[in-house]
């Protein structure tokens, strides 16, 4: 008998028919003799709708209250799925995050899991129940509800698989695996049979929504093999693991991240310590800075431009306002019109010319590059948001073989 952890995202449980479909997948696995723990997200666009409801009332709502609201979405899904399983003649128990033992830190809206006390899940499995757990949520040390950040149900599933040493961790979604680009946007995207944790982590961090990046980080840390597969078609998916068979592919994927803001500070003093003070202050507020560009100093001043996630732009501007040496210096923020397009692949470390090929593809598509950043296994460019989809297709098709 094996222990299987399954996770179903919002589109997989969007309506009654889809919930019944999930119940059939779950009960088929149980009927084969497995212990099954299922993690589910909120139905369809429920989380977005809840956020919108809050915004209508108070755009600056307290993050504790936002978490209280958002956790409601998953509560609906777990109860409905348990009822569907019962209808098929099997026993199920639904558990909210805290009942399933999820302890998190107190960063409302992007809490990190500290520990899972799996005793209740184990008790329920011992009673031969299928256990249905609300993803994306936990409880902090003050007994307040927390959420793990958008897409966080993937992390809930991997965390249970790690804590319980599950035999399989299957993440079911609305596409049948991880592709070389978003298969809904890029016609020639190729499905990958396998991908390494490191490459998947880059893809997820750079905008490939199919897995949440923290879930991949956790899978790597605890060596949980993830299978990404479709809830709508019964096909083999993509395995995410430590190492994969060498494939000829130089580039593993191309992504677009449209939640990007570019902030420029014009004419800061050209003296030591300025970058330290700016980025130190942003880091202290948990604001992750991505691409940084500093101009060569001229007339005792220099310009600093950097990118952050667009949902942090207001917070970042507040932080910058507190720095007295920036008083009176123009600060420009564009959180509407920029996007970051990236290519990822472990093979590029040993291959010259990947950057040039990417830039050529963008040039041929008549797309202007605003900023560039590179690491061993990725190259990112900041471009106009309206060009993002065209850029992904152009760059993807430049790297991928045509006969696929
Ligand atoms: P779920 O609701 O199941 O969590 P998500 O919407 O979070 O699903 O993620 C699945 C979506 O990710 C797909 O519908 C697809 O459009 C998108 N996606 C983006 N990049 C990729 C990629 N490289 N491979 C597969 N899917 C991708
Ligand atoms: N329902 C949450 C969200 O929409 C969590 C998830 O889908 O994983 O972000
Ligand atoms: Mg998701």
| 227, pLDDT greater than 90 | yes
What spacing in Å lies between the alpha carbon of 209 and ligand 3's midpoint?
6
**Which ligand 1 atom is nearest residue 253's CA?**
23
Task: Say yes or no: CB of residue 204 within 6 Å of ligand 1.
Answer: no
Which CATH number fits the domain that encloses residue 94?
3.40.1160.10
- Residue 349's pLDDT is 77
248 domain-assigned: no
The DSSP result for 38-90, as a single string, is EEE--STTHHHHHHHHHHHH-TT--HHHHHHHHHHHHHHHHHHHHHHHHHTT-
Count the domains in the chain. 1
Task: Say yes or no: CB of residue 157 within 6 Å of ligand 1.
Answer: no
102 domain-assigned: yes
Among residues 190, 196, 287, the alpha carbon closest in space to that of 241 is found at 196
Residue pair 362/383 in contact (Cβ under 8 Å)? The answer is: yes
What digits encode the pLDDT tens for the residues 9-21? 999 999 999 999 9
Quick one: pLDDT band at residue 32, thresholds 50, 70, 90?
very high
What spacing in Å lies between the alpha carbon of 342 and ligand 2's midpoint?
24
| 247, pLDDT greater than 70 | no
Task: Say yes or no: CB of residue 174 within 6 Å of ligand 1.
Answer: yes
CA distance 57 to 182: 34
The residue-averaged pLDDT of 136-148 equals 98
What spacing in Å lies between the alpha carbon of 10 and ligand 3's midpoint?
7
- Residue 54's pLDDT is 97
Among 127-136, 241-250, 322-331, where is mean pLDDT lowest? 241-250
| 394, pLDDT greater than 80 | yes
114 domain-assigned: yes
Q: What is the mean pLDDT of the chain?
A: 95
Task: Say yes or no: CB of residue 10 within 6 Å of ligand 1.
Answer: yes
100 domain-assigned: yes
Among 39-43, 249-253, 336-340, where is mean pLDDT lowest? 249-253
- Residue 163's pLDDT is 98
CA distance 44 to 319: 35
Among residues 272, 300, 254, the alpha carbon closest in space to that of 398 is found at 254
What letter does residue 188 receive in the DSSP assignment? T
Task: Say yes or no: CB of residue 153 within 6 Å of ligand 2.
Answer: yes
- Residue 297's pLDDT is 78
Quick one: pLDDT band at residue 202, thresholds 50, 70, 90?
very high
Q: Out of 182, 202, 239, 258, give the residue to mutate to test ligand 1, the one with the largest number of ligand atoms within 8 Å of its CB.
A: 182
What spacing in Å lies between the alpha carbon of 252 and ligand 2's midpoint?
26
| 401, pLDDT greater than 90 | no
Q: Which ligand is nearest to the CA of 13?
A: 1
Q: For tokens 């010259």, name the residue.
A: 352
Q: Out of 173, 178, 259, give the residue to mutate to test ligand 1, the one with the largest number of ligand atoms within 8 Å of its CB.
A: 173
Sheet of strand 113-116: strand arrangement: 113-116, 102-104, 137-139, 145-147
Which one is predicted more confidently, 259 or 352? 259
Q: Out of 74, 151, 228, give the residue to mutate to test ligand 2, the one with the largest number of ligand atoms within 8 Å of its CB.
A: 151
Q: For tokens 């307290």, name the residue.
A: 62
94 domain-assigned: yes
The residue-averaged pLDDT of 144-157 equals 98
What spacing in Å lies between the alpha carbon of 176 and ligand 1's midpoint?
9
Q: State pTM to two decimals.
A: 0.93
Which one is predicted more confidently, 82 or 311? 82
51 domain-assigned: yes
| 404, pLDDT greater than 60 | no
Q: Residue 28 sits in which domain range? A: 3-174
What digits encode the pLDDT tens for the residues 262-293? 999 999 999 999 999 999 999 998 899 999 99
Q: Out of 6, 11, 41, give the residue to mutate to test ligand 2, the one with the largest number of ligand atoms within 8 Å of its CB.
A: 41
Q: Which ligand is nearest to the CA of 12?
A: 1
Residue pair 174/210 in contact (Cβ under 8 Å)? The answer is: no
**Which ligand 1 atom is nearest residue 181's CA?**
23
Q: Which ligand is nearest to the CA of 230?
A: 1
306 domain-assigned: no
Quick one: pLDDT band at residue 216, thresholds 50, 70, 90?
very high
What spacing in Å lies between the alpha carbon of 203 and ligand 1's midpoint?
11
| 97, pLDDT greater than 60 | yes
Q: Which ligand is nearest to the CA of 136?
A: 2
46 domain-assigned: yes
**Which ligand 2 atom is nearest residue 152's CA?**
8
- Residue 403's pLDDT is 60
């Amino acid at each position: 008998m094996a222990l299987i952890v399954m996770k179903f995202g919002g589109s997989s449980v969007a309506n009654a028919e889809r919930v019944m479909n999930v119940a059939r997948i779950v009960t088929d696995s149980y009927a084969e003799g497995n212990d099954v723990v299922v993690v589910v997200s909120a139905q369809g666009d429920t989380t977005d709708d809840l956020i919108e409801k809050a915004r209508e009332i108070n755009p600056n709502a307290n993050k504790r209250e936002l978490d209280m609201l958002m956790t409601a979405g998953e509560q609906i899904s777990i109860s409905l799925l348990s009822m569907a399983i019962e209808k098929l003649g099997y026993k199920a128990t639904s558990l909210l995050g805290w009942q399933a033992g999820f302890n998190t830190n107190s960063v409302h809206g992007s809490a990190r899991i500290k520990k899972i006390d799996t005793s209740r899940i184990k008790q329920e499995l011992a009673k031969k129940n299928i256990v249905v757990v609300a993803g994306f949520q936990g409880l902090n040390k003050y007994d307040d509800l927390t959420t793990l950040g958008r897409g966080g149900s993937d992390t809930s599933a991997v965390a249970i698989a790690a804590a319980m040493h599950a035999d399989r961790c299957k993440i079911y979604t609305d596409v049948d695996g991880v592709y070389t680009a978003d298969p809904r946007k890029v016609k020639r995207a190729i499905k990958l049979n396998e991908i390494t944790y490191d490459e998947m982590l880059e893809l997820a961090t750079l905008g490939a929504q199919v897995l949440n990046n923290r879930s991949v980080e956790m899978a790597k840390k605890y060596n949980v093999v993830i299978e990404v597969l479709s809830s709508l078609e019964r096909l083999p998916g993509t395995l995410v693991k430590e190492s994969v068979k060498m494939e000829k592919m130089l580039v593993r994927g191309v992504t677009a991240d449209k939640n990007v803001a570019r902030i420029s500070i014009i004419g800061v003093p050209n003296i030591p310590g300025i970058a330290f003070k700016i980025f130190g202050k942003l880091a202290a507020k948990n604001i992750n800075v991505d691409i940084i560009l500093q101009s060569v100093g001229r007339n005792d001043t220099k310009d600093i431009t950097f990118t952050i996630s667009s949902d942090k732009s207001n917070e970042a501007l507040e932080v910058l306002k507190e720095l007295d040496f920036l008083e009176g210096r123009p600060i420009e923020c564009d959180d509407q019109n920029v996007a970051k397009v990236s290519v990822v692949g472990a093979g590029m470390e040993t291959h010259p010319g990947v950057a040039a090929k990417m830039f050529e593809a963008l040039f041929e598509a008549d797309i202007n590059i605003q900023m560039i950043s590179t690491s061993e296994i990725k190259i990112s460019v900041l471009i106009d948001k309206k060009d993002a989809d065209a850029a992904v297709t152009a760059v993807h098709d430049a790297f991928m073989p045509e006969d696929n």
